[in-house]
Amino acid sequence: MSVVELSKSIYLLRNEDARVGAFVEVVPSTQDTSFPSSSIAAGSGSYDGLSHIRWGAQDEKPSEMHRLATDSPNKWRLIETRRDFLIGNGVRFGIEKPNGAKMERELLSPSHKDYSAISDYIRSLDKVGYFGDAAYQASFSGNVFTGIPLDRTGRAELINCLDCFEMRIRALAQNESRVSAYIRNPNFGKRTYKKADGFPLPAFNPANSKAFPFSVFHAKHKLPGQPFYSFAAWWGTKAWTEVANQIPKYHLEGLTSGYNIKYLIKFPDDYFDREGLETEEEKHEHKRRVLNQMKESLAGKKDKAVVTYYKYDIQSMKALPGVEIVPLKNDMTDDAYVSLFNTANIAQASGHGVMPVLAGIDTGGKLGGSGKELEAAAMYQQKFMTYSDRALLLRPLIEVQDLNGWDSKIKFWFEDIEVYVTDSTPTNSPANPNNPAKQPNKDGNTN
């Protein structure tokens, strides 16, 4: 429609040929991020063994955040950056030994009875990319679903990472006090969802770890008020992400349809009263005809003058109310939009637990500082801002350790990626090529 009546006294004029107008987006109301806490999932009816606990009010939470990330120019890059810092240089295993007031890690000796079994197992995990996939799941959703298969002897075979989009917690029966199973269904949160397509999988129980030939280990941080699913900290940046996502949409719409509403047109309330117009329909049609003519005259063509008439009261020496066309000034400059976009990027990087200097995105200033500053930031990020999530990723491997009877004194950890910066990295750092330990000895081998 060319003329849209927004309210009794306000109209929006749009010229279709000149593509000038306004864009209105209707967004859903804010939804509660909490999840059902009852034993039977909402709306599921009686317990049937295939009902699940919804992830979000409409079971839409993962899909909603996926769309949000996909609309963003940098959200997936931030998620991937978080993933990369979590896995570092990969998993190592060995023994922790005290050295004064602190514990030091020492790689397991190849002569240890469990060395070959653990080394082969971790190598197989690296071949299928388990830790990268699990870190991606944790960085995106805050949940890691891992399948643990057992052989006939009860030893763990190769674990595998399950996609959070396909996994839900099975609704608890009235007599259950803990999660006993999960439902796997490729269509959770979709219109094509059918309960009958779900397949129940037993939950891993550390107290009876060999009860099932296949079970699901659910690794998550237990957030207050979230008894079933966790969520990643970056989900709290939803508003800032939407702000950043709207800025390119605004400019794209502006480039194709024209920026902003240009004029405010004021009419006296009796301006459209005209003799001969008796019915409301006739008055309304006359009003629309005048507004359409004004719309055409203001439709973005060059070298045009607009003339309006008003009456003048000689006695009071004042202009009587008449048509008034007021140009509207847009004080929101390009620099203001850029500043807002950069602020949103910084807020998003913080929400992902990634220091802005390491985020890999332009935050409006220098992409990085000096080499020494980047080195310090990278090491701080790995040593202080990844600890709890790295421990989360290693939980299934610790269960495998117990299932396979490996020495319980053996510890697993993610090795940090050492950063080498000329003239600032300590000589004895593993990253420094001048480290004496890396220099060849008399036999031609490194020390």
pLDDT, tens digit, for every residue of 399-417?
A: 999 999 999 999 999 999 8
Q: Residues of the chain with pLDDT > 90: what percent?
A: 38
Environment class of 283 (CB within 10 Å of its CB; exposed 0-12, middle 13-18, buried 19+):
middle
For 241-285, the pLDDT digits (tens) are 787 777 666 666 655 555 556 666 766 666 666 666 778 888 788
Q: From the centroid of its chain, how far is CA 90?
A: 24
Range with lowest mean pLDDT among 16-20, 143-147, 229-233, 431-435:
16-20
Instruction: List, for residues 97-111, the tens digit of each pLDDT value.
Output: 988 888 899 999 999
pLDDT at 197 exceeding the cut of 50: yes
Confidence (pLDDT) at 167:
97
Range in 20-34, 189-203, 278-292, 364-378 with the lowest mean pLDDT: 20-34
Q: In this predicted structure, what is the pLDDT of residue 286?
A: 80
Compute the average pLDDT of residues 37-58.
68
Long-range contacts of 120-129 (CB under 8 A, 24+ apart): 121/158, 121/400, 121/404, 122/91, 122/93, 124/158, 125/91, 125/158, 125/159, 126/90, 126/91, 128/158, 128/160
Average pLDDT for 83-108: 92
Summarize pLDDT for 354-370 with one digit per residue, the tens: 776 676 555 444 445 56
Give 337: exposed, middle or buried? Use CB within 10 Å, 0-12, 13-18, 19+: middle
pLDDT at residue 418 in the model: 83
Q: How does residue 423 score in pLDDT terms, banded at 50, 70 and 90?
A: low
Least confidently predicted of 9-18, 77-86, 280-289, 387-396: 9-18
Mean pLDDT across the chain: 77
For the chain, the C-alpha Rg in angstroms (whole number) is: 32
Residue 174: predicted pLDDT? 84
Q: Residue 392 has what pLDDT?
A: 96
